[in-house]
Amino acid sequence: MLMNLFKFKGGVKPPSNKLQSNHLPIAQAPMPSRLVVPLHQSIGGTPQPIVAAGDHVLKGQKIGEADGWISAAVHAPTSGTVLEVAMHVRPHPSGLDSLCVVIEPDGKDEWITRTPIDHKAAAPADVFHHLQQCGIVGLGGAGFPAHGKLTPSKGVAMDELIINGAECEPFITCDDLLMRERADEVVRGIAVFRDLLQPKRVLIGIEDNKPEAIAAMQAAVDAQNEPFSVVAVPTLYPAGGAKQLIRVLTGKEVPGSMRSTADMGVQVFNVGTAYSAWRAVAHGEPLISRILTITGNVHAPRNYEVLIGTPMGELLALAQPHPDTDGILMGGPMMGFLVPNPQVPVVKTTNCLIAHDDRLFPPKAPEMPCIRCGSCAQVCPHELQPFEMYWFSRAKNFGKTQEYNIFDCIECGCCSYVCPSRIPLVQYFRFAKSEIWAREREKNAADAAKSRFEFKQVREEREKAEKAEKLAKAAAAQAAKKAAEAAAAANTENATAPTAETVTTPAVADPAAAAVNPEKEAKRATIEAAMARAKAQREAVQPKNTESLTPEQQKAAAEIEARRVAAHLIEPEPVASAPASEKPE
């Protein structure tokens, strides 16, 4: 396919390491003993569990309901029994737990009724709903729900639909094998996307180190007589980044600040997403399995079709890891991360497992100071100045990092790859970004607290004024009948009783009511008992959360307490409890 290709600046050429795993056909991984399906597998809302421990589920049965528009449903990968819905570690660099559905397969692999959809006849909204209910998300890495990307931007014509088969990360070959073996269905999936988006042209970008995949895709496109262009793009990491592939194929540069590429009239889908979308549309199959590469420090690297939720350790065992394997890397070596333990399950965005050892991935030499050589700036595909961003991230000067456009960084790792001082640049940028986000959250919380505090002050003022007005009126009315003592009592009450309800309670009627109501009396007794208990507790141990304090800390706490008292923020203990004992009466 002859076509005028564009170049993006920067990029690196790490050893591709793809030959180990791309010579064998895709194999079916055996049924694992247990499936752990995390509910949050895509960008957006966290799906809510709709099964409970003990439920029997069928293969493809929905177990997690999509939460909001940008969210996708989650399904049982096989038939079996739900053991628990609990917190389990999920493949995430934090190594933290999240809510997962644990399923014990019954071995029957019994499908639920599948309902295909005729996407040409159905309304687009119904197709989107179908894709969301089938849990179709981007399989390229980020996991953005596919239906959320299938609407053109308002006022922007959809020029190009780009199908990403570049697979630029070293070691990974799952998209390569998918295109070789299932090109036909991939192309049908692309046609579905085409029908929904109505782009002017469809471009399938594949790195030129995958000639078999290019040939297979071209053959499938020809066989189905589709006007799609299969384009071989030069092998250069990160050509498979969405914005880089758009640049190479169309010459358009989507700014980092632009959230959706559709605003530039382009949309990008991974080949795997197209394949699973076709399975969902034509066969009603939800996304419960995917193809992934198992490679690295293993005897038999290969691609497997794997159920979502399979523990990674069991999969790695299929490829017979060498004994010196000391970890599992999820994703490619440029952007992936080490998972905390072998029980971590495969999720929709797991495209590769790499057995880690020190021979393949030598331990990093200690970080040297930056010598400002500028290599990082030369390879940055987003034309940033990583060494400047590093400088300010390191100094925690986050405002400056934003001036150098840190949020345009796609964390591709090119800068770290070439750095002669072996500075973990990407790590510094991730740190800076998450600190900036955290501060943003804190700032918002503080602003909200401030406005609520100010509102409360205004409200209290208003209530006080209203109360004074009401009392003044009452006093004026009563002055005629009774003496001024009632008004005086009301005024003192007003000074101590803080809320409306104490005032509105008819104080005169109360003792009588209490007397005739033994139930209330009993309740009062229990409350008093509770208070006595609390008081005893309080006397036995000073404030609960200050049990094991050093004398200095106690002193500090006491000082704070004293300052609070001085500021009249809280009244001293006995006074504080006094109105409470009066109130129930």
Partner 1 sequence: MDILLAIAIMALGAVVLGAALGFAAIKFKVEGDPLVEKIEAILPQTQCGQCGFPGCKPYAEAIVNGEEINKCPPGGTEGVQRLADLLGREVKPLDAEEKPKSVAIIDENTCIGCTLCIQACPVDAIVGAAKQMHTIIGQQCTGCELCLPPCPVECIHMEVIQETIDNWKWKYPVVEMRVETTDKAAPMKEAA
Partner 2 sequence: MFAPAPFLLKDVSVSQVMIQVCVALIPGIAAYASLVGPAILVQIVVATLSALLAEAAMLKLRGKSMAMFLTDGSAIVTAWLIALTFPPLAPWWLVATGTVFAIIVAKHLYGGLGQNPFNPAMVAFAVCIVAFPALMSQWPSVGLQLGLIEQMNIILGWAPRVDALSGATPLDAMKTALKLGEGGFDVTALLANQDIYGNFAGRGWEWVASGYLLGGLWLWQRKLITWHVPVSFIASMSVLSGALWLYSPSQFASPLFHLLSGGAMLGAFFIATDPVSGCTTPRGKLIFGAGAGLLAYIIRVFGGYPDGVAFAVLLMNLSAPLIDLLTQPPVFGMKDKA
Q: Which residues of the chain form contacts with partner 2 (CB under 8 A)?
A: 8-9, 12, 14-15, 93, 95, 170, 243, 247, 253-256, 258, 327, 329, 331, 333-340, 356, 361-362, 364-366, 368-375, 377-378, 381-385, 387, 404-405, 408, 411, 413, 416-422, 424, 426-427, 430
Residue 254: contacted member of partner 2, partner 1, none (CB under 5 to 8 Å, by partner type):
partner 2
492 near partner 1 (CB under 8 A): no
String of contacts with partner 1 for each residue 427-466, x by CB under 8 A: xx-xx-xxx-xx--xx--xxxxxx-xx-xx----------
Q: Binding to partner 1 by residue 98, rule CB under 8 A?
A: yes
Query: According to the binding rule CB under 8 A, does residue 116 interact with partner 1?
Result: no
69 near partner 1, judged by CB under 8 A: no
CB of 247 to partner 2, least distance (A): 8
Task: Work out whether 14 is an interface residue with partner 1 (CB under 8 A).
Answer: no
Q: CA 574 to CA 107: how far, in whole Å?
A: 68
Output the CA torsion sign for 524, 526, 529, 535: negative
Choose among partner 1, partner 2, none what residue 134 binds, the Cβ cut-off being 5 to 8 Å by kind: none
Q: Are 147 and 171 in contact (CB under 8 A)?
A: no
Q: How many CB atoms lie within 10 A of CB 422?
A: 12
Among 126, 326, 440, 521, interactor with partner 1 by CB under 8 A: 326
**Encoded tokens for 509:** 């009627």
Residue 378 sits in the site that holds partner 1 (CB under 8 A): no
Q: Which of residues 29-58 bind partner 1 (CB under 8 A)?
A: 40
Contact of residue 377 among partner 2, partner 1, none (CB under 5-8 Å per partner type): partner 2
Length of the chain: 585
For partner 1, the closer CB: 200 or 422:
422
Element (H, E) at 229: strand 229-233
Contact status, residue 84 vs residue 59, Cβ threshold 8 Å: no
CA distances from 459 to 199, 268, 446, 469, 497 (A): 56, 52, 20, 15, 16
Q: Which is nearer to partner 2, 111 or 431 (CB)?
A: 431
What CA–CA distance (Å, rounded) separates 49 from 326? 34
Q: Give the one residue of 260, 325, 378, 385 binding partner 1; rule: CB under 8 A.
A: 325
Q: How many CA atoms lie within 13 A of 519 on its CB side?
A: 0
User: Is residue 556 involved in binding partner 1 (CB under 8 A)?
Assistant: yes
Nearer to partner 2 (CB atom), residue 202 or residue 410: 410
Check: CB of residue 241 under 8 Å from CB of residue 168. Answer: yes
Sign of CA dihedral 533, 536, 541, 543: positive
Q: Which does 501 bind (CB under 5 to 8 A by kind): partner 1, partner 2, none?
A: partner 1
Least gap, CB of 191 to partner 1 (angstroms): 36
Q: What is the nearest approach in angstroms of partner 1 to the Cβ of residue 272?
A: 24
- Alpha-carbon distances of 181 from 16, 189, 217, 277, 434, rounded to whole Å: 21, 15, 10, 17, 40
Least distance from partner 2 to the Cβ atom of residue 23, Å: 22
Contact 224, 191 (CB under 8 A): yes
Residues 6+ apart with CB under 8 A from 476: none
CB of 380 to partner 2, least distance (A): 8
Question: Which positions ≥6 away from 215 have C-beta within 8 Å?
Answer: none
Q: How far is the CB of 303 from partner 1 (least distance, A)?
A: 20
Specify which residues 105 forms β-bridges with.
80
- For partner 1, the closer of residues 55 and 67 by Cβ is 67
Q: With contact defined as beta carbons under 8 Å apart, do 168 and 239 qualify?
A: yes
Q: Least separation, in Å, of the C-beta of 446 and partner 2?
A: 30
Q: Which is nearer to partner 1, 111 or 407 (CB)?
A: 407
Residues 493-552 close enough to bind partner 1 by CB under 8 A: 498-499, 501, 527, 530-531, 533-534, 537-538, 543-545
| 291, containing H or E segment | strand 289-296
* Measured distance CA(66)–CA(347) in Å, rounded: 16
> Cα Rg for the chain, rounded, in angstroms?
32
CB of 315 to partner 1, least distance (A): 11
Contact of residue 473 among partner 1, partner 2, none (CB under 5-8 Å per partner type): none
CB of 34 to partner 1, least distance (A): 14
- The single-letter code of the amino acid at 312 is M
Residue 235 or 427 with smaller CB distance to partner 2? 427
For 405: left if phi > 0, alpha if psi spans -120 to 50, otherwise beta; the answer is left
Nearer residue to partner 1 within complex by CB, 7 or 535: 535
> Judged by CB, which is closer to partner 1: 198, or 554?
554
